[in-house]
């Protein structure tokens, strides 16, 4: 499956963005999908994930500020980010399918090309 992430940009602190991850085929009834981000000089980290059943999990750093949703007709998952902070600045990637192993999900699937989010005044 091919993934295309979009929706990033420059936003002021406190602002909002909606990131999109469009898949080349239907993915919602098969496996989990995740959003990750990588800031300069840091490791890639999980931001949020959604399982095939629609259950969601969020990193503590974005909990309460991020919301996942999906459009089955468009094979697209959205990540709505509100109250953005400078520390949210990173390249955001989507990954599918996530692999469930020993109680955790791992991004061993395909990566989208990433979309840059910059939070700055």
Structure tokens at 40: 């300069």
**Tokens 């992430």 -> residue:** 5
**Confidence (pLDDT) at 30:** 77
Q: What is the DSSP letter of 41?
A: T
Residues 14 and 98 sit within 8 Å (Cβ to Cβ): no
**Average of pLDDT values for 14-26?**
94
Please determine, for residue 23, whether its predicted confidence score (pLDDT) is greater than 80: yes
Evaluate whether 38 touches 54 at the Cβ level (below 8 Å): no
Q: According to the model, what pLDDT value does residue 26 have? A: 83
Q: Could you report the per-residue pLDDT of 45-82, keeping only the tens digit for each?
A: 999 999 988 899 999 999 999 999 988 889 999 999 99
- What is the C-alpha separation between 26 and 94, in angstroms, rounded? 15
Percent of the chain with pLDDT over 70: 98
């Amino acid at each position: 499956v091919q993934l295309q992430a979009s929706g990033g940009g420059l936003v002021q602190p406190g602002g909002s963005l909606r990131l999109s991850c469009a898949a080349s085929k239907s993915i919602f009834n098969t496996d989990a999908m995740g959003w990750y981000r990588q800031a300069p000089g840091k490791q890639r980290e999980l931001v949020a994930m959604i399982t095939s059943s629609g259950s969601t999990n969020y990193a503590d750093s974005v909990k309460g500020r991020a919301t996942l949703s999906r459009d089955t007709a468009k094979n697209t998952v959205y990540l709505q980010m509100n109250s953005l902070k400078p520390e949210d600045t990173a390249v955001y990637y989507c990954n599918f399918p996530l692999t469930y192993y020993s109680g955790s999900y791992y991004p061993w699937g395909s990566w989208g090309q990433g979309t840059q989010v910059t939070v700055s005044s």
